[in-house]
Structure 1
């Protein structure tokens, strides 16, 4: 066991080093002399409103140089859909060019039709110059307001690169299309075209260290900050109202219950108990499907740890704008390294519930989140392969991920499970459980599981709704989100509101003499994930311009996995809060 643990520690260290390597810039110092070659890579092209539907740059019939080389990319860059390859433009340091021909090409009818199709879909291209991103559109459409069929389509054949430098560093680059160099591609006909470009270097006083600041300014504009702060105020008001409700009403009710039960004990010993005290012999009766519940708690705890580590990296500045693939690399590596948390939590809790088949519980824990994610990935990767999109992962990347799961995730899960099995912790129940369960009295419909989940999920969702829009616009659009401090505050408020609303509903459930609170508290806590997925429908159809089978599949498929992760994580938070509350109130009374 010691040798195996040592090997796992070494592998974990290598993964951490790999993660760090994936989230920093190239090893060079990015300093150049006049005339030095500065790398320019063409990345991808795709419809502007479909961020997941991207293709290789040379999938379009641009000029294709014969000696192109693909850039070796890190794991996160491949997961992000980046496929960098040498661009046909040479932008040497401090060398201006008025106009230089890249190539002269005769477009066939099929190629003209291809270009017209992508111009109709508003295709853009993305490149990287010295690790700085730049964009441009493939062409433009001149619409006829009276008759859309009379619209004209034009292809940009000339790109002007406006580059700013400070001493020996590249600080900023912009790509502009020359409106005077358009080629009419409205009709299917052969066209002789000459692709060209020009370069203009301009000195600036912006320091090299701040060259990425311009990409985060959009999320830091005063009008956006006002909306973000309004979101925080809205969330704080929601949290304060809920906590105020608990402190003034729920605690007062509990105090009255404690006084009443104490008075009943002193006055009449054989007086019939009512309310939540009446079910003290059943409230800690272990639930059905306890192996599944333990697996849910283990997976939710791991996802909570994953979220905390991601926030730590974000707050220290790792995820700066266009640090390609940093987030995806961190997600893969941290999820692998935290699998031991899931194994330990699930197995130790399973043994507290007097479970016996801990191996099955451990396998269930390992597959509970990874299983649906893997099936979703298989389907979406197949769709991406059918579209020949860059979102389709190469076989080598799939092998790397499989090796990470096999050599790191699963062994750490097993080690965590063994540690949880050997922890020998017992379930701390303040009262004894009776031999035979009491029958739950008939309750009104609004006290059933579904209405309770709806009430439990609405308040936490309302606390994060405004911030969700910016997250969606960043993940499924072209906005940049960098205000991680505000996002972290909203996340903390989400946890607080989820915990408090679950505690309140648990009290009302026990007061109605319904002792089946275990699964109910987990479902109520996790119901916010269902509201988030419902918001996906609204965002897709009302707030975005996404379209097409591939983009729709990617949006709803991966958002289903994300919302499922939120369901497990927040369900765990709600269950833990309810468990602490139930233990506290039954510890505070005297039960025979």
Structure 2
């Protein structure tokens, strides 16, 4: 693990050095520099804040990812204060259901507010999409897996009473809070803060394969090697085996490092994308940050075949069904982190130059 640490920060250090030189050059008042043709990331200042395609879906991703981030933080806080006991997994599952319901207002407010900033018009459809983006696939997966458990007469099948309680929580708590958050986001809308004016006609974005190559290399060295660490194997053994994991403080530190590394790597890749005059960074920042969820799924394949003793249709379907939902949740959460970090960065660098 230690030998991989420098690979996290090398692109960040290099981009910082190059960016510092760009600031010195672009902030200079010399007329000779003003007469030069704009190149690099300054050249696309009229397109960099052009809103992305599929604005409703994009806002829903940001809203759902923000909710999942808040959910994860609350779970870690409860774990650190000793709410969860080692042999009582039911308390953790109950907390997940309740906190997800109580944080649905965060998703509604964030998604609708951001959607209105992107000059969206159908905020009701955006709110419905936000509510179903993560909860929908999770509900369908649960229905299928619970049916499988009932068919196998397994104790993993939830009784009808528990399912009814979950549906009541979703109907009486999750949905109303989602709507209230959406209404608050719509009524409290603000204009999108862009340091540079967007031009009427967009410039053609370059198809830069080098960005994807850098993305794959850094993500492989960083996130994927972190996922394959011994702690990840212990967590999987605790969730899907009989081991008990109680070192929540270490896990919290690892989560904080994951957030920081995701933000830095996404910012670095966004900057390199802008330097080659490719202004379509919105969705790519989400994909870059959320790609860690894809690598976690790859580790699931490795763990199932190399580390676990699971077999049969029921165990296989339960493992891959729920782990796919977890990886999808990581994709939304870390994708939101990557986009938010990139947005702050892009606003900062274009606020520091003279945009006509």
**Does residue 1:513 correspond to 2:277, yes or no?**
yes
CA offsets per residue over residues 195-215 of structure 1, 9 Å max, x none? xxxxxxxxxxxxxxxxxxxxx
CA offsets per residue over residues 36-75 of structure 1, 9 Å max, x none? xxxxxxxxxxxxxxxxxxxxxxxxxxxxxxxxxxxxxxxx
Distance 1:408 1:456, change over 3 A: farther
CA offsets per residue over residues 97-124 of structure 1, 9 Å max, x none? xxxxxxxxxxxxxxxxxxxxxxxxxxxx
CA offsets per residue over residues 447-469 of structure 1, 9 Å max, x none? 34xx4653453212323432211
Correspondence 1:541-556 to 2 at 5 A: 541-556=305-320
CA offsets per residue over residues 267-289 of structure 1, 9 Å max, x none? 15342110000000000000000
Larger Rg belongs to: 1
1:295: how far off? Answer: 0.3
Q: Secondary structure at the match of 1:584?
A: helix
1:243: how far off? Answer: 3.6
**Does residue 1:457 correspond to 2:219, yes or no?**
yes
The equivalent residue for 1:179 is none
1:440: how far off? Answer: 1.4
Aligned to 2:56, which of 280, 283, 291? 291
The equivalent residue for 2:156 is 391
Q: Secondary structure at the match of 1:433?
A: coil
Aligned to 1:562, which of 323, 326, 330? 326
**Does residue 1:338 correspond to 2:106, yes or no?**
no
* Range moving further from structure 2, 415-424 or 318-327: 318-327
Distance 1:294 1:265, change over 3 A: farther
8 A contact 1:528–1:567 mirrored in 2: yes
The equivalent residue for 1:258 is 23
Q: What's the TM-score, normalizing by structure 2?
A: 0.95
8 A contact 2:149–2:157 mirrored in 1: yes
Mind listing any 5+ residue stretches in structure 2 that lack a counterpart? Answer: none
1:323: how far off? Answer: 2.1
Greater fraction strand: 1
Correspondence 1:58-207 to 2 at 5 A: none
Distance 1:462 1:429, change over 3 A: same
CA offsets per residue over residues 276-332 of structure 1, 9 Å max, x none? 000000000000001101000000000000000000111011112112401000000
In structure 2, distance between residues paired with 1:298 and 1:578: 16
Correspondence 1:305-454 to 2 at 5 A: 305-443=70-208, 445-448=209-212, 451=213, 453-454=215-216
The equivalent residue for 1:482 is 246
In structure 1, distance between residues paired with 2:267 and 2:97: 33
1:239: how far off? Answer: 5.4
The equivalent residue for 1:573 is 337
The equivalent residue for 1:246 is 12
Q: Secondary structure at the match of 1:398?
A: helix
Greater fraction helix: 2
1:395: how far off? Answer: 1.6
**Does residue 1:499 correspond to 2:283, yes or no?**
no
**Does residue 1:531 correspond to 2:295, yes or no?**
yes
1:394: how far off? Answer: 1.6
1:255: how far off? Answer: 1.5
1:517: how far off? Answer: 0.1
1:534: how far off? Answer: 0.4
8 A contact 2:227–2:299 mirrored in 1: no
8 A contact 2:7–2:218 mirrored in 1: no
Q: Which has the higher contact order (CA 8 A, sep 6+)?
A: 2
Mind listing any 5+ residue stretches in structure 1 that lack a counterpart? Answer: 1-230
1:415: how far off? Answer: 0.4
Distance 1:577 1:418, change over 3 A: same
8 A contact 1:380–1:554 mirrored in 2: yes
The equivalent residue for 1:184 is none
1:260: how far off? Answer: 2.4
1:426: how far off? Answer: 1.5
In structure 1, distance between residues paired with 2:239 and 2:214: 31
Q: What's the TM-score, normalizing by structure 1?
A: 0.58
Distance 1:512 1:385, change over 3 A: same
1:421: how far off? Answer: 0.7
CA offsets per residue over residues 348-390 of structure 1, 9 Å max, x none? 1101111110000000000000011011111111111110111
1:541: how far off? Answer: 0.3
What is the root-mean-square deviation in Å for CA atoms of aligned residues? 1.6
Q: How many pairs are equivalent?
A: 354
In structure 1, distance between residues paired with 2:289 and 2:257: 14
Q: Secondary structure at the match of 1:325?
A: helix
1:470: how far off? Answer: 0.8
Correspondence 1:26-45 to 2 at 5 A: none
8 A contact 1:456–1:525 mirrored in 2: no
